Amino acid sequence: MKKRVLSVLATCALLLGLGMFAPATATAAPYCGLTWGSLPESATGMSSAQIKNLRSGRHSCFDRLVVDLQGDVSGYTVQYVSRVSQLGSGFTVPLSGAADLEILINAPAHDGDYRATFSPRHRTQAVNVDGYRTFRQVAFSGSFEGQTLIGLGVRARLPMRTFVLDGPGDGSRLVIDVAHRW
């Protein structure tokens, strides 16, 4: 009986001792402090603003696409889709990457006389994103009935966020950030 009690006490002491030296359980911190998701983001309303430019940037935790508008952007929808379809025709917009992000802006890329306010040299490569960690391709699909469609091919379905910034001047910017990883 004494041996059994000593054995149980030794086992308990061993387990308690190992617990003191075991690493503490770590809680996973979000990548770069980002708490974004991958669900659709949108704002309602039509805009008299016009698309002026597309540009991109690389950051340490995400890639960024910026849509410059002359005027205030009112409505947009940014969402992951199984395929981006052209406005009007429904034809597929082929994109590089494992995930397709559809950017629909309730603003045209032309003025009131239907003169283009934005017309990239190459619609399928509207912005050069070679060497980006997340972006694979930016395709300018065009405008139809007051809306403009941009397809963004990304490496994978990753967290993203969308927001609007004022300026410069009386313009505004629609900003789409896509994280490098979860």
pLDDT band at 20 (very low <50, low <70, confident <90, very high): very low
pLDDT of residue 27: 56
d(CA 135, CA 137) in angstroms, rounded, equals: 6
- The burial of 110, by beta-carbon neighbours within 10 Å (0-12 exposed, 13-18 middle, 19 or more buried), is given as middle
pLDDT band at 31 (very low <50, low <70, confident <90, very high): confident
Instruction: Considering only residues 17 and 175, tell me which one the structure prediction assigns the higher pLDDT.
Output: 175
Instruction: Considering only residues 124 and 74, tell me which one the structure prediction assigns the higher pLDDT.
Output: 124
- Find out whether 38 and 159 touch, Cβ atoms under 8 Å: yes
- CA distances 155 to 11, 37, 83, 150, Å, are 51, 16, 14, 17
pLDDT of residue 33: 87
What fold does the segment set 38-179 form as a domain? Immunoglobulin-like (2.60.40)
d(CA 35, CA 51) in angstroms, rounded, equals: 29
Instruction: Provide the sign of the torsion angle of the four alpha carbons 60, 64, 68, 73, taken in this order.
Output: negative
Task: Give the residue from 38, 57, 39 showing the smallest Cα distance to 133.
Answer: 57
In percent, the amount of the chain with pLDDT more than 70 equals 84
pTM score: 0.82
First to last CA, the chain: 56
pLDDT per position as a tens digit, 107-134:
999 998 999 999 999 999 999 999 999 9
